[in-house]
Chains A and B, each alone.
Chain A
């Protein structure tokens, strides 16, 4: 019997939830092994063997051991092309390139300011850490400007990479979810007509709802 796919990390982590959403979209069964970051489990020698940077998630599929959520997502799509959502990573090279372009845009342009905001607004208060107002304001401005580019794109195209939901949209779900639901920044998404429409569609996908359930159950 093949070793099932295993994900190591807390479902509340944005990067972990990115991988979970992909596995559920692709209908790939998996086992989730919790990692207690408050207790520093992600820095334990055993964990560092599977993720030397001490970050979550870590991932295993039979003999393959991987990390970096967006790499794991691409691997899942390439390893299991016939399962679940077959178009998640495109079914032809041009579709795939467009998806890669927007996954990169998410990773390079959306993720940095949204991660800072999520940490400052949603996590810092819960961890009793002092918020940095100037960092909040700088990153709000960056994100606002960025979403202006998205607004134009989403006026031309139903989803970021084209007419179908893809890894590019999925990749945005974790941080956007926290901005809307835990950081009181729903307005970033609702103040722009096309972005609001897009957010409504992608956040109501069954796969994302299941991930949100997993997050709630883990608290």
Chain B
């Protein structure tokens, strides 16, 4: 069964794509242009009532929220591809811990940077320099904590690559690329080593090749 993934060129759907590649699951991207507002079309809202991407369709089974999709496929296909959840309940707990950190401490700031630096003109919203400055400061403090964590542990949840690291790939790729703030990563020794490691995984390189950035 081929899993359909809506909006594959955008960042949040790429979390799902890289997970599916790691788990050796076949998928098909379904184009959806957020810049043209296609996520607000009534037909799309029937699938995803909040009007956001990604949504996955696996036969009749529809699921949304990227991190929910990650958990579902990582668990369903636990015995195939890369193990992304850890081997014990305790290791899984660490994966959940750092996946939530990504969702609540990391993502909000890098998302604001993405919106204002990359997409504001395209979306017709004013670019807010105060938001950019504050988001960079807050993100910097979060990355300092990551630096400390990654000085003790090769990956965020422990010595194994997991959903927690994977979830950071798409927006960090924006941060070091089109957002123009690579120094935030390269100036932190352990964060830099971690970023180089996870972003050079063949799975991530494959996703970038298949679906270049939308701008």
Contacts and interface: CB of A to CB of B under 8 A. Distances in A.
Interface in B77-106: 89-90, 92-94, 96-97, 99-101, 103-105
B104 A104 contact: no
Contacts, number: 81
B131 interface: no
A71 B99 CA distance: 8
Contacts of A78: 89, 92-93
Given A52-B145, A75-B92, A104 B97 contact: no
A39 interface: no
Contacts of B148: 52
Contact of A75 (B68, B96, B142): B96
Interface string A131-147: 00000000000000010
A69 B68 CA distance: 16
Interface residues of B, number: 31
B93 A101 contact: no
The SS class assigned to the A binding surface is helix
Given A100-B67, A108-B65, A152-B49, A74 B101 contact: no
Contacts of A93: 72, 75-76
B65 A68 contact: no
The 3 closest A-B pairs by CB, nearest first: A68-B100, A104-B65, A71-B96
Contact of B90 (A64, A70, A74, A104): A64
Contacts of A79: 89, 93
Contacts of B105: 53
A107 interface: yes
A66 B91 CA distance: 10
A97 B67 CA distance: 10
Interface of A: 52-53, 63-64, 66-72, 74-75, 78-79, 93-94, 96-97, 100-101, 103-105, 107-109, 112, 146, 149, 152-153
Contacts of A149: 49-50
A34 to B, nearest CB: 22
B149 interface: yes
Contacts of B71: 96-97, 100
Contact of A101 (B68, B89, B97): B68
Interface string B49-65: 11000000000010111
Contacts of A107: 100, 103-104
Contact of B49 (A63, A108, A153): A153
Nearest to A106: B65
B49 A64 contact: no
